[in-house]
Chain A
Amino acid sequence: MAIKYFNTFDGSILTDKTAAGEEAVRSGRAIAINCPDNIESWRLKANLSTSEVIVYGGTGKTEAQALQQKADEGAAVAAVNKEKADLKMALTEKQEEERKALQATFNNLE
């Protein structure tokens, strides 16, 4: 376990260097948390409410496994977003049909 320092504005990791980290803590820019060893820094994030560290993928995963999980999640998010976008388009096409019908009615009135 070793102390690492996390930004108070969003919990992202700032540094593992003691002097720089302590200076940031003194200025209110960071908090210090004791973190497990041998985890790549990009996987670490602070829960600012509980002052605990969150390890992406969990402590049991290797970095390669965590990277794979990231890639898989990215693909999943992309799929969800595509579905959302398609749905939005389908909905608006329906609205467009209704609007066209209404416009035609108005046009006939003028």
Chain B
Amino acid sequence: MASISQLVLSKIDSRKEGLPLYGFLGDSGDGNGHWTFRVFDSGHKIVGNPWGQATHSTASYRFGITGDAMHSYNYNDFGTDITHGDLTTQGYSSWTLYNKSIYQTDQYPWGQYYSLSRTGYVTWNGYHQYTESMEYQIGWTKLNHVLPEGIRPRRLFCNRRQTLRELNAGNNTSGQIQYYQYTTHMLDVTNTYAVSTGYNEKNKMLVMLHSGNESTSTAMTIHVFKSSVCLNKVKTIKEFFDNLTATEYFTDTWTTDNNKDWVTVVGNNGWVGFGQKYGNSKRYGVFNCNTGQSLGTTGAARQFSTWQDFQGSTTTSYSTNQANLYYTKFNHTWDGTWGMIYSSYYYYGVGLNAFCMNLENPRKFISVSVTRTSRGNPYFAWGRTGFHGGQSENTDGQSHRTYAWSFDPNDSDHTTTTKVLYGNDNCGTLVPASNDTNLATASSINSGSVIVNKTGVFGVPQSRTFLHGGYHSTSYPLMFQVNWWGKYGQHDFSYGGLYGS
């Protein structure tokens, strides 16, 4: 009986998707020649393509898949070329170019500037009044979710001041669905500005960070709310708070650049990682947020070790100090075992400065670095336990490459090193005639590295996807976040699951 109900229950999460997909646009750069859009799976195999065709002489001004009003040949509001810029000197309002910025995407299933369905239907948001949109203004108030395998956030909760609001999920201001002011549940109201919120669905644990203001105040209050109901399941937010089983808090003083950059990562073991962009660098600290252990109300009593500065190279780059839309991002792997707090290396969204942390135990973490300064792309969840993206070089004469890396989903011991696997340019060396050892401390893993916990930094190499860019001549492909990767195990266009039964 137990195994039947398990079997049935394990199959009913309607949010569970197949392995990650990504969109891929390659074109001649002028919207008046070649334009190809494809959707690929994590093995870089095609899933979908919104096939379309048009003549491209001046007799035909409507060109491009969906004839997008923002970007088409001639009849467009914001330019014909969305892929050929190199993003070395262009800010977010270089709309065409900023599609490739790392700031476009995070764990939520849309991009700041567009949305894309699994079949390859892409549409850009209207750029008019964009600076008043959700992502531009208050994207930083979105919850950082730690979700079960195969699940991405399907509801949009924003926490600001002392009110948690739910919106329809997407980059719009169509009105909140509901709201709840939770002040009465707070044990300490010295600091009343919510600046960061994390939620762990497995533990039903909501962790909020409140500060003295939404900029540089260093005064922090951290609240831990545990409930018997899951926030992602409730009809009203109030139900989550009506059913609290434990509430604790602690206060601390945290060196802060801008409070809107804080990211809160609630681990399965009750430890919580807090990270943010700090100047050109980053900081990350881990605190024991378990309840019922009399840990006290000071940060010092709960902190694991010390604050850690990002250990990779840094250069001038943005944060919410320059504008809210540059808020520090969070994403996690498909299987929910590793997370990434990240922003770009280089000003406009190229390269990667990140902390990657284990979500079972956020005390286990490393720095991850890609010091690219042009021709970037966003980063996405990839495969079962990885991320990829970041590269947009000319594919005329060479295959498309990506910065792809994976972790071991069971690697959660912070007292040992972390294994990271990655690709390269030649499969003969990826699967070589030599053995890898299995020892965590050894470095003889082919296309793999062993990184010291906390202070180690991993530089990601590129690897070949063996995809063409979509256009036979000069082409700089653009990668897209896909709204829905297809229902786990029940795809129509491609296989999206992982294991046997």
Do chains A and B directly touch (beta carbons under 8 Å) in the complex?
Answer: yes
The residues of A that contact B461 with a CB separation of less than 8 Å are: 7, 9-10
Contact A23 B312 (CB under 8 A): no
Contact B452 A15 (CB under 8 A): no
Cα–Cα, bound, A84→B472 (Å): 12
B394 interface contact, C-beta 8 A: yes
Contact B371 A42 (CB under 8 A): yes
Minimum CB distance partner of A63 in chain B: B316
Interface window among B81-89, B260-268, B319-327: B81-89
The residues of A that contact B457 with a CB separation of less than 8 Å are: 14-15, 17, 20-21, 24
Cα–Cα, bound, A4→B472 (Å): 39
Which one, B316, B371, B458, contacts A12 given CB within 8 A? B371
Contact B313 A27 (CB under 8 A): no
Contact A15 B312 (CB under 8 A): yes
- For window 296-324 of B, CB contacts with A under 8 Å fall at 309, 311-316
Which one, A14, A78, A81, contacts B312 given CB within 8 A? A14
Interface window among A47-55, A66-74, A101-109: A66-74
Contact A41 B371 (CB under 8 A): yes
A98 interface contact, C-beta 8 A: no
The residues of A that contact B373 with a CB separation of less than 8 Å are: 42, 70
Contact A74 B313 (CB under 8 A): no
Cα–Cα, bound, A16→B435 (Å): 33
A32 interface contact, C-beta 8 A: no
Contact A15 B311 (CB under 8 A): yes
- For window 18-34 of A, CB contacts with B under 8 Å fall at 19-21, 23-24, 27-30
Contact B311 A20 (CB under 8 A): yes
B455 interface contact, C-beta 8 A: yes
The residues of A that contact B309 with a CB separation of less than 8 Å are: 17
- For window 70-119 of B, CB contacts with A under 8 Å fall at 84, 86, 88-89
Per-residue contact bits, chain B 20-50, to A (CB 8 Å; 1 contact, 0 not): 0000000011000100000000000000000
Contact flag A40-B315 (CB < 8 Å), given A20-B455, A23-B456, A78-B84: yes
The residues of B that contact A9 with a CB separation of less than 8 Å are: 459, 461
Contact B315 A42 (CB under 8 A): yes
B290 interface contact, C-beta 8 A: no
Cα–Cα, bound, A86→B402 (Å): 28
B60 interface contact, C-beta 8 A: no
Contact B371 A17 (CB under 8 A): no
Q: How many residues of B contact A (CB 8 A)?
A: 39
Contact A15 B455 (CB under 8 A): no
A99 interface contact, C-beta 8 A: no
A61 interface contact, C-beta 8 A: no
The residues of B that contact A85 with a CB separation of less than 8 Å are: 28, 33, 473-474
Cα–Cα, bound, A67→B89 (Å): 7
Cα–Cα, bound, A28→B257 (Å): 34
Contact A27 B459 (CB under 8 A): no
Minimum CB distance partner of B370 in chain A: A12
Q: How far is the CB of A69 from chain B (nearest CB, A)?
A: 10
Cα–Cα, bound, A21→B371 (Å): 15
The residues of B that contact A13 with a CB separation of less than 8 Å are: 313, 371
B333 interface contact, C-beta 8 A: no
The residues of B that contact A4 with a CB separation of less than 8 Å are: 313
Contact A16 B313 (CB under 8 A): yes
The residues of B that contact A63 with a CB separation of less than 8 Å are: 316
Q: How far is the CB of B97 from chain A (nearest CB, A)?
A: 11
Contact B473 A84 (CB under 8 A): yes
Minimum CB distance partner of A88 in chain B: B473
Cα–Cα, bound, A41→B281 (Å): 12
Which one, B28, B84, B313, B316, contacts A15 given CB within 8 A? B313
The residues of A that contact B443 with a CB separation of less than 8 Å are: 27-28
Contact flag A24-B459 (CB < 8 Å), given A12-B371, A12-B372, A13-B371: yes
Cα–Cα, bound, A21→B311 (Å): 8
The residues of B that contact A71 with a CB separation of less than 8 Å are: 88-89
Q: How far is the CB of A6 from chain B (nearest CB, A)?
A: 9
Contact B474 A81 (CB under 8 A): yes
- Interface of A with B (CB < 8 Å)? 4, 7, 9-10, 12-17, 19-21, 23-24, 27-30, 40-42, 63, 67, 70-71, 74, 78, 81-82, 84-85, 88-89
Q: Which 9 A-B pairs have the closest CB atoms?
A: A20-B311, A81-B474, A9-B461, A7-B459, A42-B315, A85-B473, A13-B313, A20-B457, A14-B459
24 inter-chain pairs at a CB distance below 8 angstroms, sorted by A residue, are A7-B461, A9-B461, A12-B370, A13-B313, A14-B312, A14-B313, A14-B369, A15-B311, A15-B457, A17-B311, A19-B455, A23-B452, A23-B456, A27-B450, A41-B313, A42-B345, A63-B316, A70-B374, A74-B88, A78-B84, A81-B84, A81-B473, A85-B474, A89-B33
